[in-house]
Structure 1
């Protein structure tokens, strides 16, 4: 049994001080005042044995909060293909990734695997072949002990018509935990500003201006999944209990269409009006933490700080930069003056609720898995000093004192 004492516990409802948190058999047993003696028959989780010896961890006045649930992160792409022409073994990539992710407080990761190999922004990790390899690798990797919880978020670019049979088979095998539809056609969605798209491609050194203009002319003639096909695919996912997300919603009509498909998450709504409409329709709005740190979107779209201060953020994800997630919570808490326990839900309880994990994960409550992090607020931002997954102490870190 583990007792965590002398910390500020962030629960669903409030911040608790002067309380101790007990972990038993991987789960949170109870949270009781520090001056009370632990009595298993009174306080304990049902599986907690009678014992008087505890491993005590002194939180030293730091925050004790739920482990972060990151539902959209393509960080694994960097681990798989760190530079052009280099592909690391997928199983090694997962091991390297989780060693990094746990240090940033991420205890559940939805690896965002994008089938998106067409266009000038294509990446080696996003080829159809490599995406299927990575899904199989995650399935294999999670059959053995891991540091954190691994899930698959498959992102389907709608011009990949030929992958549907394999996608249906993969869903049948239970290897997909979240599905999203994407349309990165320049001129709408994330790239609705064509000049911004051209500058982005040029900044990567991918093509000349002439090649980009030729690409733009050919994009609108490509075959895409029809609305009927998307609807049927969405319905099949729902039958398999796979949650659905939309992506880069830029109009009220598009968010309404996503709602009609049964989407539960609106990823990266482009405007306040669209975010508000998503909320009205019952979708969770999801935004990227790097946007919150920088103070703006790299594509000139909606600022997360603006959305947060309008109380239109439901879920925060790391997107492409895992270190940003925890820090962004504290940045938005300070910038908008919102209660910390409410902001923390954006990366814990809200994603758990959206993806039906909330009965066992997402908050500090008796009976839930003890996925916890202890966080020190330093002068340069929050630092994860301890991380637990399923009650096991996975990560400990402290800075050298000069």
Structure 2
């Protein structure tokens, strides 16, 4: 692999931004402000060089697999397109939030198998480090063989516990953010025969290629599995612990919920939905994840806590792309413009912190010896930033560098 010398950039380091040069070779950062030593020079004066993004939860790939409801495309083509989008948005490491559900269609176990097999077959052709977050719906024991397969694979995945079955059946008199712990005996269930419940599930029915009435009948039958769910969760968590993979719990609304999953080994709280859960997670030393689109847009589209507010309060460690890959950089723009924190501190939310939470100690920062996962950005004064080049382990994963460029003054950031 040819050595490269990124010269004169504004380097986004752990706690400061300085002008300097970075040398990379054989997939690693070999030095900062060292001799070129025969490396190819990339002139970067006036540009920002930052750690590439580590995205621990992204499901935007679903829009490549199914660009319109009920319209599927070949999975290998969809994943190759997804990979290009990752690199073009500065994401060097991506955990695809692969929902494994009892629902037919896009989020079924069958589709999960096809996506996993395609990623395995395409591995040598992919640019970014494509990994899997096993986003397991806890009412879906049929997913266990697939989970076991991925846990034994070469690419260390993550496992996230999801329960959209119990949340879908919540009685409408109770706000979703106050939903009781999933396993309480007297969980308040909606009227499954009501027209309002069928209407609520219409989008999920469409995704599953079913009528609302058919979907209501299906979820009613699935609900009968509830007595077996705690044992299923314990068994899958034990598999993940044996494999040594990081675990997350999703959409926690109660301290009891967070405590339950922490006891199983899930030390990451993904998208908590109530202030009390944030405080419980912080007190226990759990990592807290929120969506970058939340931060980019200035709030959650679901009415969940504001990412910017939680970051300012010290109650958010990680931002994930969620459903929109450009939001990783977009969140940095919005949070920096709103003076939520200095840019080096903000950048840890999308690089160093998610890498640490996933046990990836070789990336997420600009430092000698680490992987050369880097993002070169054109960020002019008063203008929006644009990724110009992404390196993934030193490989040129994406490049929009012009052949001749008039340098900007030093970036405003």
TM-score normalized with structure 1 length: 0.85
Q: Is 1:78 paired with 2:79?
A: no
- Which of 368, 371, 383 pairs up with 1:369? 371
Aligned partner of residue 147 in structure 1, secondary structure = coil
Where does the alignment leave 5 or more consecutive residues of structure 1 unmatched? 33-37, 40-50
Corresponding residue for residue 98 of structure 2? 113
Q: How does 1:58-97 map to 2 (within 5 A)?
A: 58-97=43-82
Question: Structure 1, residues 315-374: CA drift from partner, whole Å, max 9, x if none?
Answer: 10000111111110221233243121111011111111111112x111111011111001
Where does the alignment leave 5 or more consecutive residues of structure 2 unmatched? 180-189, 191-195, 406-413
Corresponding residue for residue 163 of structure 1? 143
- Measure, in 1, the Cα distance between the counterparts of 2:175 and 2:10: 41
Corresponding residue for residue 255 of structure 2? 252
- Which of 222, 235, 238 pairs up with 1:235? 238
Question: Structure 1, residues 36-58: CA drift from partner, whole Å, max 9, x if none?
Answer: xx45xxxxxxxxxxx74331112
Check 1:183–1:393 CA distance in 2 against 1; reply closer, same or farther (3 A cut).
same
C-alpha contact 2:54 2:351 (8 A) present in aligned 1: yes
- Measure, in 1, the Cα distance between the counterparts of 2:329 and 2:238: 34
- Measure, in 1, the Cα distance between the counterparts of 2:118 and 2:212: 38
C-alpha contact 1:183 1:189 (8 A) present in aligned 2: no
Check 1:111–1:189 CA distance in 2 against 1; reply closer, same or farther (3 A cut).
farther
Check 1:252–1:133 CA distance in 2 against 1; reply closer, same or farther (3 A cut).
same
Aligned residues between the structures: 378
Aligned partner of residue 379 in structure 2, secondary structure = strand
Aligned partner of residue 258 in structure 2, secondary structure = helix
C-alpha contact 1:305 1:336 (8 A) present in aligned 2: no
Q: How does 1:184-333 map to 2 (within 5 A)?
A: 184=164, 185=166, 186=168, 187=170, 206=206, 220-223=223-226, 225-333=228-336
C-alpha contact 1:79 1:88 (8 A) present in aligned 2: yes
Q: Is 1:352 paired with 2:355?
A: yes
- Measure, in 2, the Cα distance between the counterparts of 1:197 and 1:248: 21
- Which of 106, 109, 129 pairs up with 1:125? 106
- Measure, in 2, the Cα distance between the counterparts of 1:189 and 1:242: 33
Corresponding residue for residue 149 of structure 1? 129
Q: Which moved more, 1:296-305 or 1:308-317?
A: 296-305
TM-score normalized with structure 2 length: 0.82
Corresponding residue for residue 8 of structure 1? 10
Check 1:198–1:3 CA distance in 2 against 1; reply closer, same or farther (3 A cut).
farther
- Which of 107, 110, 116 pairs up with 1:135? 116
- Measure, in 1, the Cα distance between the counterparts of 2:237 and 2:383: 43
- Measure, in 2, the Cα distance between the counterparts of 1:149 and 1:391: 12
C-alpha contact 1:330 1:340 (8 A) present in aligned 2: no
Check 1:336–1:271 CA distance in 2 against 1; reply closer, same or farther (3 A cut).
farther
